[in-house]
Chains A and B, each alone.
Chain A
């Protein structure tokens, strides 16, 4: 049934024209990668499955839901471009959630009249906790040369343990109403507040990666760390700040998620490490480092949320969704390898 709309067009065209189309598709694949095809396939398939999938209401919904993954993926992209990765983004979120919630609850009790001060201080306490995780990651990886895998895996466990210890595993409730009302559900000029945060973060990250020396050095370190060092780039500093910034972006997602669920939860961000890496890889960020673009990563994160949303609408169970998501990730990497070989071979 999917083909019925496309096939008449194809049968009318003659063979050479068909080759042209194939060549165009090949060119697009070589230039941008697999993401446009995945995105188009998702849109077509779910639009056919359900009429409401492409409704403005649903797409706004997807945009709002994708904010958190977009933020984390931007940070993940940063460390992937340096040639590492960060498995502790989920922990950064959980710690942010628990610490900011505990701080807010305590401060509101101490000074009930200054709710907004309590909210802001709480959020900053959350940022601080996540930043600590990021700095420890950066310190271990940049200064002591621990592999990113072990370092961030270790901190993922440490952070999760601390978050559970602080709360005893019980959600922290009793957050100020304004917090959730604004950061979770608020709108400014009709745009959801979390979306605004994401837009600002995307712009800032785009500027950092494309317009600042730090960004140029991030690409250089990932492209060839020895060469960067020989060119006088302080590679340790670059690595350190990349992990710190990654944790900070995850932390921002953590505050927004906490506002959305209106409680401090230790289990927020449980699957986000995998999802953010998937979003980046599907968006063409190289696992070898040195390659990756902000706009593609945003699209990659959006794609994953869109896919999850579509599967929900199509009533595909969450267990099967996991199977599908994992398969897509592997498929994306395989296609990326094929693309790499085509690129090298065509020279």
Chain B
């Protein structure tokens, strides 16, 4: 900014040879990264590529195993988030760092509360927070508890929190993931202003379309390595994707044959449930139904209510012509439904058990594994589990390890394996590849292909738009608890889908 400053500006942040290992897993290996003042630098890569680990090190959450971190040319060691904040590093985490039970202004000031004498200066907090939101042009009553806010509003609070710190380095981890178009505009405006003031911004996003507009540099990470840094203006989308995945797109997604007129396996009529306001969808045999939408659009909760995981208030669920509305989860699973939950750690796996035992758990109740009184044949169970493991391509050496020690990709394979333990008519995959590397992904996609082509009905619910677009024969787009659009075949395009993401579905079409 100052004309008297010497021309070669020192980088704000310089990370050299950063390596981070968790237990024995290498999350980052020998990564170099530098950020200049007044620069918007995008970090790009798949889930699990190491972006989050890298920014976690810079924001003081983790300590690097080796490598050095310089801020303004000074070598520093960050012990905590608090420490990083002292060096002017502010982070908007993807996993919200908000406390749901506290009010907005309490959250914004959490960890740096203003004081008057011994006591909290609540008036200053409320006024300061209100000012900040006005300045950002976000409309939120700062006295509301965070738990009462929508996800987009929470995201806005999270962003405001980082701006309050007057950070010189601002890290935004997928900030637009749940923002509307209008809110995104506001955020970009603010980023531009911050950049003009010399703030360095690290921006993580999967939305390639955004890059041309706001980014200066793009650094691509893959499998914990820095693949390269390119100028945003001179790089095409395709080139970025190839850098990210290390292969061309059509090698990842298999072509799934669709059986022409499969019968309806699951029929949903006007389902009303928490976050779902009247949805009708049919799922047919031999077809992959994709379900897209923002987080909180109801795309996941619809299936949870079908499965009896949250109560259905109105509507009808027909499974193979039988009314199963409001039945308990167990009965639906027995009736031929397989459900792969979105969070494998909390809902999918017995974390302390071995991979083999996790698969074997789903074998229980099969006639050839246990007899009528409930005695299990350990040998039979083991043979079958090992057979399934081979089918989903889990290396035999992993089978005796506790699943908590396996990589995300292998954990997901175990979950898929549970689906092969019994015959099902319909497979509902909610976020089938979250946190899984590209190699494993294409293996999982081939399993989905196998299932669909065997004449089963398949539902793929995913926040990964590319994934769900490439897999689906038919795609329903959710917005605000309703179906905003149903697309098929050639109509499934990114532009078409995004258009419906923010649709106001309350207005009758």
Cross-chain contact B93 with A230 (CB below 8 angstroms): yes
Q: Beta-carbon contacts of A242-254 to B below 8 Å, as 1s and 0s?
A: 0000000000000
Chain A residue with the shortest CB-CB distance to B311: A345
B100, B112, B115, B118: the one contacting A224 at CB < 8 Å is B100
B80, B110, B122: the one contacting A220 at CB < 8 Å is B110
B97, B102, B111, B274: the one contacting A219 at CB < 8 Å is B102
Chain B residue with the shortest CB-CB distance to A286: B101
Known pairs A219-B99, A228-B99, A231-B97; A345 contacts B274 (CB<8 A): yes
B95 beta carbon closer than 8 Å to chain A: yes
CB distance from B274 to the nearest CB of A (A): 7
CB distance from A132 to the nearest CB of B (A): 27
A186 beta carbon closer than 8 Å to chain B: no
Cross-chain contact B81 with A232 (CB below 8 angstroms): yes
A234 vs B111: C-alpha distance in the bound complex, in angstroms? 8
Known pairs A223-B101, A227-B99, A230-B93; A216 contacts B80 (CB<8 A): no
A215, A229, A290, A344: the one contacting B274 at CB < 8 Å is A344
* Contact residues of A between 276 and 330, Cβ < 8 Å to B: 290-291
A227, A232, A345: the one contacting B85 at CB < 8 Å is A232
A59 vs B249: C-alpha distance in the bound complex, in angstroms? 78
B204 beta carbon closer than 8 Å to chain A: no
Known pairs A231-B110, A233-B111; A220 contacts B120 (CB<8 A): no
Q: Beta-carbon contacts of B167-202 to A below 8 Å, as 1s and 0s?
A: 000000000000000000000000000000000000
Contacts of A227 in B (CB 8 A): 96-99, 110
Contacts of B161 in A (CB 8 A): 231
Give the B interface residue count (CB, 8 A): 28
B22 beta carbon closer than 8 Å to chain A: no
Q: Identify the stretch in A87-95, A141-149, A206-214, A267-275 within 8 Å (CB) of chain B at 4 or more residues.
A: A206-214
Known pairs A227-B96, A227-B99; A233 contacts B274 (CB<8 A): no
A344 vs B161: C-alpha distance in the bound complex, in angstroms? 27
Cross-chain contact B102 with A231 (CB below 8 angstroms): no
Give the A interface residue count (CB, 8 A): 26
Count of chain A to chain B residue pairs whose CB atoms are closer than 8 Å in the complex: 74
A226 beta carbon closer than 8 Å to chain B: yes
Contacts of B113 in A (CB 8 A): 213, 216
Contacts of B81 in A (CB 8 A): 229-232
A248 vs B276: C-alpha distance in the bound complex, in angstroms? 49
Cross-chain contact A220 with B99 (CB below 8 angstroms): yes
B212 beta carbon closer than 8 Å to chain A: no
Chain A residue with the shortest CB-CB distance to B148: A347
CB distance from B396 to the nearest CB of A (A): 35
Chain A residue with the shortest CB-CB distance to B97: A230
A216 vs B101: C-alpha distance in the bound complex, in angstroms? 11
Known pairs A211-B120, A344-B274; A234 contacts B82 (CB<8 A): yes
A223 vs B97: C-alpha distance in the bound complex, in angstroms? 11
Contacts of A212 in B (CB 8 A): 118-120
A222 beta carbon closer than 8 Å to chain B: yes
A344 vs B275: C-alpha distance in the bound complex, in angstroms? 11
Q: Among B95, B96, B97, B115, which residue has the most Cβ atoms of chain A within 10 A?
A: B97
A223 vs B115: C-alpha distance in the bound complex, in angstroms? 22
Known pairs A223-B101, A229-B81; A216 contacts B274 (CB<8 A): no
Q: Among B93, B118, B120, B161, which residue has the most Cβ atoms of chain A within 10 A?
A: B120
Chain A residue with the shortest CB-CB distance to B275: A347
CB distance from B126 to the nearest CB of A (A): 13
A224 vs B106: C-alpha distance in the bound complex, in angstroms? 13
A222 vs B161: C-alpha distance in the bound complex, in angstroms? 20
Chain A residue with the shortest CB-CB distance to B84: A232
B152 beta carbon closer than 8 Å to chain A: no
Contacts of B98 in A (CB 8 A): 224, 227
A296 vs B101: C-alpha distance in the bound complex, in angstroms? 17
Contacts of A207 in B (CB 8 A): 119
Chain B residue with the shortest CB-CB distance to A289: B101
Contacts of B91 in A (CB 8 A): 230
Cross-chain contact B102 with A223 (CB below 8 angstroms): yes
B136 beta carbon closer than 8 Å to chain A: no
Cross-chain contact A226 with B95 (CB below 8 angstroms): yes
The 5 A-B pairs with the shortest beta carbon distances in the complex, nearest first, are A232-B111, A230-B97, A223-B99, A290-B101, A232-B82
A-B contact pairs, 15 of them (CB 8 A): A207-B119, A212-B120, A213-B113, A216-B120, A217-B110, A222-B101, A224-B100, A227-B98, A230-B91, A230-B97, A231-B81, A232-B81, A234-B82, A290-B101, A291-B101
Beyond the given A217-B110, A232-B80, A232-B110, please list 19 additional residue pairs across the A-B interface where CB-CB is below 8 A.
A211-B120, A212-B120, A213-B113, A216-B102, A216-B113, A216-B120, A219-B99, A219-B102, A219-B106, A220-B99, A223-B101, A227-B99, A228-B99, A228-B110, A230-B93, A231-B107, A232-B85, A234-B82, A291-B101
